[in-house]
Structure 1
């Protein structure tokens, strides 16, 4: 199995795992919306059919259909008719820099701290569990996600950082925890990665992630937690400064 396939399999399995009980369309809609906003489901990707979604999630076909209708209304998917038809992810507009700047300016310091604390607690926990369970191949996948040396493109860094943390969550081997991280990424991830627009923070991020990889290879849970905490704390500090500069 290639590194890309290995990386995505656990996260996708968590997204398409059966709901705990037959739920309403809003539950299906929320799970898929989180997966789109967080980047688990990529722009232009074709979703399973209504019947396939219903079977995978353990709901009625009509429930899956209602969820897809709601996602179309939000602009998160589009539907193409015909031989190669189906529902396709449309997430290209989700990370508009101006929209993120407006969101940050409107956010209080208390809210920023609250969301950041949740991010830190959940992802450091994932790092500790992953240190127990990851093997060398898993760490190779994570390392392959880092942009190449000299690459300072903010888009590349933001995408890579999101992929890395989603992969780290999947290494917990807990579908429930993985879905929690997906939801967290959908809610706050794009904003948290705004500091990756500068080469200085990119270098801090690279150093923290390399510390994380070393800790995972050594099955060092404390070291993995420390590396993740340092990177996220740096991002939150930079966000607070960016927010202050907008006022």
Structure 2
């Protein structure tokens, strides 16, 4: 082996000891994230004040503020204004996931970055398997809950302000019955931001039709029939989406 080969071989086998050097803000963010996820700082616990964190990390307050803002956008902390406020560790579980996704989706819809139709379509892609899983995993208590919601829907008129809330309870309860907490969290978030009933000008005919569709969904879940459940929820969500689209087109004329 000549000297050139030796140099080349040595270079290719050299140990990798370097790593990406983070900026101060990124280093602070990463260390705080590790403290939260490791349980060093517990849920609902208040973090030290910005001045104290700046002292501990030997960085400026703006650097601390940027790191905290990044953690807030990730759903790891929340800020409370006022004299008794500060930065608090968020509860990191499937419920928190749903809230974070909902807030992010709300902002995207408000800014026009995504369309209502896009959100509604993704919601259908999630709710169809959720109903199928609910038909497999539901309990007697779950069926009793759905029956209670259906009875309340049946006794209220279409202009009752509780109708939208009952519809949300119906869909979110089914997603929870799926037994998949991540799926349930995502359905919660998307339903909250794409609830057609909140935007529909409900007529008695539409109210009766949506109630009948809900009844078909419950029937399939009670029978433990995943396929029938998938068909029923797909028909229901498609009906609502098409009804809303027709109403929007009529308003543009």
Q: Do they superpose with TM above 0.5?
A: yes
In structure 2, what is the equivalent of residue 182 of structure 1?
Answer: 188
Unaligned runs of 5+ in 2: 1-29, 34-40, 48-70, 85-108
Q: CA RMSD in A?
A: 3.9
State the number of aligned residues.
Answer: 168
- Decide whether the 8 Å contact of 1:154 with 1:196 is kept in 2: no
Cα distance in structure 2, aligned partners of 1:185 and 1:145: 17
- Secondary structure class of the residue paired with 1:119: helix
Superposed counterparts of 1:107-146, under 5 Å: 111-146=115-150
Which of 218, 231, 236 is equivalent to 1:226?
231
Equivalent residue of 2:194, what SS? helix
Cα deviations by residue, 1:141-192 (Å, 9 ceiling, x for unpaired): 0121122335333422211110111111111111111111122123322x45
Matches within 5 A, 1:1-247: 54-55=42-43, 61-62=46-47, 67-69=77-79, 111-146=115-150, 147-149=153-155, 151-189=157-195, 191=196, 193-195=198-200, 197-247=202-252
Query: Larger relative contact order (C-alpha < 8 A, sep ≥ 6)?
Result: 1
Does structure 2 conserve the Cα–Cα contact (< 8 Å) formed by 1:134 and 1:171? yes
Contact residue 175 and residue 184 of structure 2 kept, 8 A:
yes
Which 5+ residue runs of structure 1 have no aligned equivalent? 1-20, 25-52, 74-78, 82-102
Q: Deviations over 1:76-122 (max 9, x none)?
A: xxx9x8xxxxxxxxxxxxxxxxxxxxx89x979x9344222211111
Q: Distance in 1 between matches of 2:198 and 2:123?
A: 12
Paired with 1:240 and 1:118, the residues of 2 have a C-alpha distance of 16
The whole-number CA distance in structure 1 between the counterparts of 2:32 and 2:244 is 37
State the Cα deviation string for residues 26-50 of structure 1 (Å, max 9, x = none): xxxxxxxxxxxxxxxxxxxxxxxxx
SS in 2 for 1:148: helix
TM-score, with structure 1 as normaliser: 0.56
SS for the counterpart of 1:153 is coil
Larger radius of gyration, structure 1 or 2?
Answer: 2
- TM-score computed with the length of structure 2 as normaliser: 0.55
Structure 2 SS opposite 1:197? coil
**TM superposition shift of 1:55:** 3.0
